[in-house]
Structure 1
Amino acid sequence: MKILMVSIPTLHFFRWTDQLKNAGHEVFWFDITGMSAPVEKLNWVQQRVNWKLKYNYPGRVFLKKRFPKIYNFVQRFNEKNTAIEFEKYLNEVKPDVVHSFAIYLACAPIYEVMMKHKNQKWIYSSWGSDLFYFQNNPSYLKNIKQVLPRVNYLFTDCNRDYEIAKQYRFNGEFLGVFPGGGGFNLQHVQKFHLPIKERETILIKGFQGRSGRAINVLKAIINLQDQLKQFKIIVFGAPNEVFQFVDNSNLKNWENLQVLGRINHENVLELMGKALIYIGNSNSDGMPNTLLEAIIMGAFPIQSNPGNVTSEIITPNKNGLLINDCKNASEIEKLLTNALISPELINTAYTFNQEELKQKLDRETIKLSVLQKYGSIAP
């Protein structure tokens, strides 16, 4: 089967697509940004990349950095039309199915083309906040209402988003719930996995912005300095706002607190394997990949629950704890305190997650199911 992927270049997309390697399909990728170079890790995929610019003039990058308004004006005349370029590639490839990742990124820009080619089968994968958050924005909601009745197949990373999709007139075939980047290589990450009794780290996801709410977690730990003295506290993925918050609070005097910026995926898994407790907090998400990583790596998860999606995998006081109000630092403080004084809860959750959930997130297990779903789509 010929499969034409449409996506931005991102780790989740690369990991998902890698499931199709050596599976007997011809796989093509139309980089919707049109600006990336060929991706080595997808060297087995036929890639349509770096197509956006009509002319890559000298000094373009300098102009973009120093004079963005002038650059944006020039680019209005220097960029090729996404829909036109996609249709050219669609006609060239003649795929059995088109697979788009995220509505506003990879569905809306080609919607008019797909409406012209109504017999072309179309898969849509929802990611993270794709439906839950953006349905509240009128312009994005317009895209959602246009795209969902047209797509033929749907992958989601949580049951919540399937229910949302049906609300907006998706009536195609639901292919199932899978992690956005596929499963995890359990054999590879096992080397990072410390026994629970040796773990002395509390790990905090440091995202702060449109959805991340790490600062509320930091507010929650301020009053717990004595209880946390025996732990190493690591915040990862922190933007400038988080560094500034720490510098302007008494947290800057905590010798056991370390704040890191963006780190690679391997480093995240290594930290997870050393963490006794992991805390992730946001106002919107699908099934958080870092939560799944905490589960497979044995960290006790304390996670926000936007739209009740996290409760699809976490049962409070059984295999983790749920943050019901991501803005409420007092609630987060109480949850963390509860975990700190309940070693039996942490041990019980560890056992359940390792024995009941971990294998279900194995890359080969998920890959087999995903390939069966692609195989169910008749050419």
Structure 2
Amino acid sequence: MRILMVSMNSIHFVRWTQQLEKSGHDVFWFDILDGGKSKHLPWVKQITGWKQKYPNFKGRYFFKKRLPFLYKKLSFLFEYNTEKVFENVLLEVKPDVVHSFVLQISCLPILEIMKKHRGIKWIYSSWGSDLFNKKNKPNYKNDLKSVLSRIDYLFTDCRRDYNISVEYGFKGTFLGVFPGGGGFKYRELEVDYIKPLNGRKIILVKGYQGKLGRAIAILKALSLLTDQLSNINVVVFGADEEVRKYIKRNEIFSKLEIEVKPKKEFLPHEEILKLMGKSLIYVGNSVSDGMPNTLLEALVMGAFPIQSNPGGATEDFIESRKNGLLINDCDNHVHIAELIEGVLKNPELLESAFKINQYKIKPKLEYSYIQKQVLNAYDGIEI
């Protein structure tokens, strides 16, 4: 089957696509944002370098950054039309199926072309907040209905998003719920990275605030527990500027052993897994998300997960007070403090959750197990 992927260049897209290597499918990739080739997909026919009319034009970045509204208005002078370029690619590649990742980025810009070429099957993969978050999307309902009425096949990263898609008109074939980046090759990680529980002294915090994150609520919760954290190190990774400033201006954090790893200092994926493998507790908190990849990494690496549950997404994997805890109010730092304190005082829960996640949940996230199901889903597409 000839598959034309439509996506921005991201680690999740790369990991998903790597599952198709040596599958017998002929895979092409239209880089919808034209961010450049991926060295991790040398076997994929990559369509990049298509966007700029004058690629050597000096001052473009400055113009785009300082005068974004004017640049957007005049973009037709500098950039080729995405619809026209994509249609030319479609006619040249002649794919059996187009697979778009994320609705706003990779479905809407090519919707009219896909309506025009209805004979070509269309797969859509929903990730994260793609379907759930309505903020800053003035045409949310119309956009969803327009895209979903044309989509033939659907992948999601949580059951919630399948339900949303049906609510907004999806009548195609559901291909299943899978992690956005595929499964984990955890056998390569077990020996060196996964430490026994009795040697773990870290509470690991995802430090994203921004529009959707709620890391500061976690920090407020920890500030209520300084007496209970005398033998615990707190590590905040991926900390954005707002989170860093919050920690710096609140003296209460001087009472904690706290290490901040800024977002701008990119932490390789392998280093995140190492941190997970020696952390006692992982806390992730946001107002909107799908199935967080960091949550899955925590489950695989043996850190006890405390995670927000927007729209019920996280409960696909976490049964509260069995193999983790669900944050029911992401803005309530007292609630979060009670959850963290309760876990620290309950070594039996930590031990039983570790066993459940290592022996029952983890095998369901193993790379070859997920890959087999994903390839079966592709093979089931009727062309």
What amino acid maps onto 1:242 in structure 2?
A: V
- What are the within-5 Å matches in structure 2 for residues 223-238 of structure 1? 223-238=224-239
* Residue deviations 1:257-315 (CA, integer Å, cap 9, x gap): 01111222111111100100000000011111111000000000000010011112111
- Are residues 122 and 244 of structure 1, via their aligned partners in 2, closer, same or farther at CA, if it must alter by over 3 Å? same
Q: Does 1:38 align with 2:48?
A: no
What amino acid maps onto 1:51 in structure 2?
A: W
Retained in 2: the 8 A contact 1:135–1:141? no
Q: Distance in 2 between matches of 1:29 and 1:92?
A: 13
- CA apart distance, 1:68: 4.9
Q: Does 1:271 align with 2:270?
A: no
Retained in 1: the 8 A contact 2:102–2:125? yes
- CA apart distance, 1:335: 0.3
What amino acid maps onto 2:258 in structure 1?
A: L
Q: Does 1:180 align with 2:180?
A: yes
- CA apart distance, 1:83: 0.8
Question: Which sections of structure 2, spanning at least 5 residues, go unmatched?
Answer: none
Q: 1:296 aligns with which of 285, 296, 300?
A: 300
Q: How high is the TM-score relative to the length of structure 2? A: 0.96
Q: Paired residue for 1:102?
A: 102
What amino acid maps onto 1:217 in structure 2?
A: I
* Residue deviations 1:36-57 (CA, integer Å, cap 9, x gap): 2211111110011121111121
Q: Paired residue for 1:348?
A: 352
* Residue deviations 1:97-146 (CA, integer Å, cap 9, x gap): 00000111100000000000111100000011111113883313321110
- CA apart distance, 1:167: 0.4
Kindly report the root-mean-square deviation, in angstroms, between the aligned alpha carbons of the 2 structures.
Answer: 1.5
Q: Distance in 2 between matches of 1:111 and 1:134?
A: 20
Deviates more, 1:68-77 or 1:182-191: 68-77
Q: Distance in 2 between matches of 1:283 and 1:179?
A: 20
Retained in 1: the 8 A contact 2:203–2:232? yes
Which runs of 4 or more aligned residues in structure 1 lie more than 2 Å from their structure 2 counterparts after TM superposition? Answer: 58-76, 134-138
Q: Distance in 1 between matches of 2:16 and 2:301?
A: 20
Q: Distance in 2 between matches of 1:66 and 1:104?
A: 24
Q: How high is the TM-score relative to the length of structure 1? A: 0.97
What is the aligned-residue identity percentage?
51
Q: Name the SS of the counterpart of 1:138 in structure 2.
A: coil
- CA apart distance, 1:71: 4.5
Q: Does 1:138 align with 2:174?
A: no
Q: Distance in 2 between matches of 1:72 and 1:110?
A: 18
Q: 2:368 aligns with which of 356, 364, 367?
A: 364
* Residue deviations 1:191-210 (CA, integer Å, cap 9, x gap): 21111111111000001112
Q: 1:331 aligns with which of 332, 335, 340?
A: 335
* Residue deviations 1:58-114 (CA, integer Å, cap 9, x gap): 233344455556654553411111111100000000001000001111000000000
* Residue deviations 1:139-170 (CA, integer Å, cap 9, x gap): 13321110001100000011111111000110
Q: Name the SS of the counterpart of 2:139 in structure 1.
A: helix
What amino acid maps onto 2:168 in structure 1?
A: Y
Retained in 1: the 8 A contact 2:223–2:253? no
Q: Name the SS of the counterpart of 2:225 in structure 1.
A: helix
Retained in 1: the 8 A contact 2:183–2:366? yes
Deviates more, 1:74-83 or 1:363-372: 74-83
What amino acid maps onto 1:226 in structure 2?
A: D
Q: Distance in 1 between matches of 2:210 and 2:61?
A: 26
- CA apart distance, 1:185: 0.8
Q: Distance in 2 between matches of 1:65 and 1:165?
A: 35
Retained in 2: the 8 A contact 1:204–1:214? yes
* Residue deviations 1:11-32 (CA, integer Å, cap 9, x gap): 1000000000011010000011
Q: Distance in 2 between matches of 1:69 and 1:175?
A: 39
Retained in 1: the 8 A contact 2:229–2:256? no
Q: Paired residue for 1:52?
A: 51
- CA apart distance, 1:188: 2.0
Q: Paired residue for 2:319?
A: 315
Q: Count matched residues.
A: 378
What amino acid maps onto 1:244 in structure 2?
A: K
Q: Name the SS of the counterpart of 2:40 in structure 1.
A: helix
Q: Paired residue for 1:194?
A: 195
Q: Name the SS of the counterpart of 2:149 in structure 1.
A: helix
Q: Distance in 1 between matches of 2:268 and 2:133?
A: 26
Q: Name the SS of the counterpart of 1:23 in structure 2.
A: coil
* Residue deviations 1:192-239 (CA, integer Å, cap 9, x gap): 111111111100000111211000000001011110110110001111
Q: Paired residue for 1:214?
A: 215
- CA apart distance, 1:356: 0.3
Q: Paired residue for 1:18?
A: 18
Retained in 1: the 8 A contact 2:226–2:256? no
